[in-house]
Amino acid sequence: MTASTELDRLCAELGLAEVPASWRATWNLTATFDDDMPVLDPSWVAAAGQAIGLEAEATRALGDAASELAQRPGLIRLMRHCHHELFVAREPAPGSWPTLPGTSAADRLFHALVLLSGWPRLERRHRARGIPSDITRATLADFAMRLREHQRKHGQWGLDAHGWLSRHFRDRIYQLGRLQFETAGAEKTVHVYQDDDGEVALLAAPGSAFRADGLLASAFAGDAPVAFTAALSIDAVRIVGHPFDRDGLVRAEPIVLDARRWRCVLRPGDPVLAVHITAYGPMDDAACSASFAQALDFFPKHVPEHPFAAFTCVSWLMDGQLARWLPADGNIVRFLRRYHLFPIEGADATQHFERIFGGAVDLATAPQATQLQRVLVAHLRAGGRWHRGGGLILRGG
């Protein structure tokens, strides 16, 4: 039986509508792979759950799912391939991995068990880097939170965020105090210049198309025409480009920088640390400052192969409009004002609604219990439009 035929048979058996196209080229590579997969043993699952701080109820649910999965050869074959792709071949994050249509524990927790199967490799990598075990445990707290979130929403254990959590299990994200930091490349929309006195200017990447309001043309679902396309001209004397204002919106009128005093300090793709804000409580400003300070010490010591030049953040919290609606001395605005802002692609308000309301709501009946809920609705009712954005802090300040 060819690899493609076996894969088609398995898809039919498991009810999978489709799988990543790349699997047809790699499926046969994992036909006999069984390394580092004790996850099918419930006793191992119990020990791993305790090691990473899972609550007992979640660990029992995973153990039950492992027992069931161990009796289903088709799922074992699929798990073997997913494990290899994720932790051995280290292919891109599994955003396009198939969703199992079944409702059993093994189906609902399949991706959670795939992630947990990578725990031995992660633990070895962290110990080899000299990373303290409390940081490993704190980093994987996201896994426990997402499992619990699924149980709270649906009344049963499962996992919806396996693509995101693969970064935690693949040694890309670290929880350092209040914030998470991910090794990443700089966004493609911005070039950063700094002069001899430390002043910073963010210029739009050449060829980027913008709307009249200063957002990228791709910010929303194509509801506005392109107003202009950015250019960036550099010679021995002048740097001419389109800057971003305090709210992260591009200016149609270019500026001119003296090339003898200004130098490019960050280009698209350069190594950065992407900052993520976990849902573990208030964004205390002092706690955030401590996290940044910890990252400055942690990465050169434990991840020296990633010489980051800046911190970046892509989030609903990087919407410059928040500073006009929320108190200047509040945690959100203080966090926002740490950054130089810039626009991003796909900048709609979906994340605002998810973070503030838990999902889409009707403005006429939206809850108004918190300040953020009231602000979100008031801005929209006034004819405004929220959007995600990007922010950047150079490593040197």
Q: Which of the four pLDDT bands, split at 50, 70 and 90, describes residue 322?
A: very high
Relative to beta strand 173-176, strand 262-266 is: unpaired
Q: What is the average pLDDT value for the chain, to the nearest integer? A: 92
Contact 189, 343 (CB under 8 A): yes
Question: Which residue bears the tokens 């490593």?
Answer: 395
3 pLDDT tier (thresholds 50, 70, 90): low
Q: How far apart are CA 270 and CA 392, in angstroms?
A: 13
Q: What is the pTM of this model?
A: 0.92
- pLDDT > 80? residue 222: no
Tens digit of pLDDT for each residue in 58-95? 999 999 999 999 999 999 999 999 998 888 887 766 66
CATH architecture, domain defined by 269-394? 3-Layer(aba) Sandwich (3.40)
The predicted structure's pLDDT at residue 36:
66
pLDDT in tens, 170-196: 999 999 999 999 999 999 999 999 999
Rounded mean pLDDT, 124-137: 96
pLDDT digits (tens, 9 = 90+) for 332-368: 999 999 999 999 998 888 889 988 888 888 888 999 9
What pLDDT is recorded for position 21?
Answer: 82
pLDDT of 1 higher than 60: no
In this predicted structure, the answer to whether residue 202 has a pLDDT above a threshold of 70 is yes
Structure confidence at residue 113 (pLDDT):
96
Confidence of residue 127 (pLDDT cuts 50, 70, 90): very high
- Residue 209: pLDDT over 80: yes
pLDDT for the residue numbered 355: 87
- Looking only at the bridges linking them, the beta strands covering 271-277 and 310-315 are parallel
Looking at residue 44, its pLDDT comes to: 96
pLDDT of residue 4: 72
Position with higher pLDDT, 295 vs 218: 295
- Phi first, then psi, for residue 276 (nearest 5°) are -125, 140
Answer yes or no: is pLDDT of 160 > 70: yes
Which pLDDT score, from 0 to 100, does residue 97 have? 77
Residues 6+ apart with CB under 8 A from 115: 86, 143, 159, 162, 165, 166, 169
Q: How much is the pLDDT for 298?
A: 98
Domain with CATH 3.40.630.120 in the chain: 269-394
Q: CA-to-CA distance for 91 and 27, rounded, in angstroms?
A: 13
Q: What pLDDT does residue 223 have?
A: 67
Residue 159 has pLDDT above 80, yes or no: yes
Residue environment code for 252-264, b if the CB has 16+ CB neighbours within 10 A, otherwise e: eebeebebeebee
- What single string gives the DSSP state of each residue in 276-325? EE-SSS---HHHHHHHHHHHHHHHHHH-TT----EEEEEEGGG-TTHHHH
What's the pLDDT tens digit per position in 141-155?
999 999 999 999 899
Task: Find the range with the poorest average confidence among 133-137, 309-313, 327-331, 358-362.
Answer: 358-362
Q: Is the pLDDT reported for residue 18 higher than 90?
A: no
pLDDT band at 244 (very low <50, low <70, confident <90, very high): very high
